[in-house]
Structure 1
């Protein structure tokens, strides 16, 4: 029964997105069905085959190795802390980001990461027959994060109309940056994190092409190739990367502390009106219908709904920290769908980041950035829909 509910959830989410689309007649279903087929095959390969499991384990081992390398640097600065049997979140999950950001920038410096993005983006465009720029962008944001990926294509964004600009805003809600994967892996099972990443990439394309379908002429379906500029020297590049990584750590830490404190204050406020009433309970009721469609039992439905609300209102880090403390008492299916749902940047603060990035890019034409402010609801709906679809697809294979 729960399997059928999980399967029904996929159709319900797509139906809701289709109803929200203002241009229903323009939706092209063939590429969407092709992408769904690719997703099912990919998910089956990752979760049901020995080769897929082997690949995921090797990728997870690679990121574990990156984290261990980062730990050597942290231990040099904080030797007494790293000797403790239990290490605080700041040291175990956040500080390793400094090294991971630097490592990914080294891959970019030598052209390795751009080459991977180019080849995978080309393959997705060929298979789905969706626009090249959108296909490449879905891969870029998977590795780089939303604001970084938007910055990479900023010169081409300047030439696009409002409809296509909105498409990139919608897709940006479902990104995840490779630089913080180590932090995720310290809290939730790696297998489901690495399943979520490619599924989010493809589902972002699907949802964007239903919620905001755009017709593009063949002559306009091009990728902007910026002129080659002189690179900074290698050591200047990696030094700057380390500073960027440290800034990212500070921002995430501030958000975690601030949102946890804000949640505590809200719970205290709600407690004045009803004993035991918390923001988590309110969220659990609000999102319970969607959690139910993940094929969960009654108790797990309410808990995962609570995680959904926490992620949307705050961020995925806080929700993952909560999930980590419940891993030993939840069943395999619940852990899988919850982890996949949480593995993305879909929340209110991400909208602010996207809007700020657009403002920065369109300084000479600020009216262009207004397209994000006018369509906040589309960004929120798309972010939730992508996370739900990815979780439902993984849920079909994990029981």
Structure 2
């Protein structure tokens, strides 16, 4: 029954993308079959095979080591403020981003990341039915981040068609940057973070291919990457400061969003006898059921899913973590995995502004184009998250 419901759910999600397609006649079936097959294979390998478990455990152990190194620097600066054996979201979750960002800068300076991004992007371009630029962008977004990857493509942004622009923006909103993966791993189970990153990479092409099918001319498929010429320490200082800015920005957004949610919840409760989040939970419950959550857990899961879309993934992850720490036991292991995978992406209203603002800074005209399809962009990226969550539900 689980498999049957999962297959039906995948078909419904694909139909939801098909329903808003720009050009249904030119949808390519073969790349879709390849990409969906790869999603299923990778999901099974990561969650159910011994080799997959060994690889994921190795990745998690590596991030644990990095967090310990980051902790040394954090304790040196904030040691007098941090209470021993206590958990602080800002110090434990956000501050390690500074160290991870510095490592990413070093690897990029040494061309290691560029080689990895190009290599994986080249392989993806062989199965996704799209161009080198789209493939590079998807992998680059998952490593560098949704803003940084656009900067590396700033020479090509002004010349992209609306179709290609939609695809690269969908991929950017569907992925997460490597700098904050360690932060996610402290809020939800690490293996689901790794799984989501991989599945979203394929899922973004599946959904974009349905909503936004097009042909890429070989003459236009030229990858021209902008690389800044900086000294090593100039680069290192820039990435360290960028990491700190990300941490502070996330902290500010969390303070604002959580306070606003609490206020709106209080108003809704006084007027209607139900919190705003719980109200959203009922609206999202059918979608939670669609991706494999049992109906008795659907409202709770829908509440967290809606929180992620309306605010951001950190707020939703913190809500999930708090519910688990309180002993509420809202979900069984399978439901917890499905919800966790859904949360790992930048698919929320705030990301529309970030992507539009970044592209507008590079080219005003193209930024306005992105703003016009902003809601369709969020719709597509959200479907990517629903698809990845459904695939995981099939494997758990």
Provide the TM-score with structure 1 as the length reference. Answer: 0.95
Preserved CA contact (<8 Å) 1:192 1:339: yes
Answer yes or no: is 1:361 the counterpart of 2:362.
yes
Aligned mates of 1:373, 1:221 — CA distance in 2: 24
RMSD of Structure 2 on Structure 1 (CA): 1.4
| Cα distance per residue 1:307-345 (max 9 Å; x no partner) | 111001110001101111334622111111011000001
Structure 1: distance between partners of 2:129 and 2:204: 15
When structure 1 is superposed on structure 2, of 246-255 and 211-220 the one drifting more is 211-220
Match of 1:382 in 2: 380
Aligned partners of 2:335, 2:246: CA distance in 1, in Å? 30
- Aligned equivalents of 2:52, 2:395: Cα separation in 1: 13
1:177 and 2:174 equivalent? Answer: no
Aligned counterparts, 1:139-218, within 5 A: 139-218=139-218
In structure 2, C-alpha distance between the alignment counterparts of 1:225 and 1:242, rounded to whole Å: 23
* 1:17 corresponding residue in structure 2: 17
2:110 maps to 1:110: yes
Distance (whole Å) between structure 2 residues aligned to residue 225 and residue 264 of structure 1:
44
Cross-structure match for 1:290: 287
Is contact 2:134–2:164 with CA below 8 Å preserved after alignment? no
CA shift, 1:105, in A, is: 0.7
Q: How many residues align?
A: 392
3-state SS, counterpart of residue 176 of structure 2:
coil
Q: CA deviation at 1:82?
A: 4.3
Query: Does the CA contact (< 8 Å) of 1:2 and 1:296 recur in 2?
Result: no
The Cα shift of 1:60 comes to 0.8
CA distance in 2, matches of 1:151, 1:299: 45
Tell me by how many angstroms 1:90 deviates.
0.7
> What is the TM-score when the length of structure 2 is the normalising length?
0.96
Contact map agreement 1:74 1:82 (CA 8 A) in 2 = no
Deviation sequence 1:145-180 (CA, Å, 0-9, x none): 111111111111122122222222222221200000
Pairing partner for 1:245 from 243, 246, 259: 243
CA–CA distance in structure 2, aligned partners of residues 27 and 173 of structure 1: 22
| Structure 1 residue 8 displacement after superposition | 1.5
Offset, 1:225? 4.3
Please list every run of 5 or more consecutive structure 2 residues that lacks an aligned counterpart in the other structure. Answer: none
Per the alignment, do residues 78 and 368 of structure 1 end up closer, same or farther by CA in structure 2, a change over 3 Å counting? Answer: closer
Cα gap change, 1:55 to 1:270, in 2 (>3 Å):
same
Task: Give the whole-Å Cα distance in 2 for the aligned partners of 1:260 and 1:35.
Answer: 37
Unaligned runs of 5+ in 1: none
- Report the alpha carbon displacement of residue 81 of structure 1 after superposing the two structures with TM: 4.4
1:110-163 deviation digits (Å, cap 9, x = unpaired): 111111101111111123342111111110001111111111111111221222
Partner residue, 1:41:
41
TM superposition shift of 1:86: 1.8
8 Å contact kept, 1:173–1:382? no
Contact 2:45 2:52 in 1 (8 A): yes
Q: Name 1:306's counterpart in structure 2.
A: 303
Q: Distance in 1 between matches of 2:162 and 2:294?
A: 43
- Does the 8 Å CA contact 2:359/2:367 hold for their aligned counterparts? yes
SS at match of 1:86: coil
Aligned pairs for 1:62-73 within 5 A: 62-73=62-73
Deviation at 1:272, TM superposition (A): 2.9
Mapping for residues 332-351 of structure 1, pairs under 5 Å = 332-351=333-352
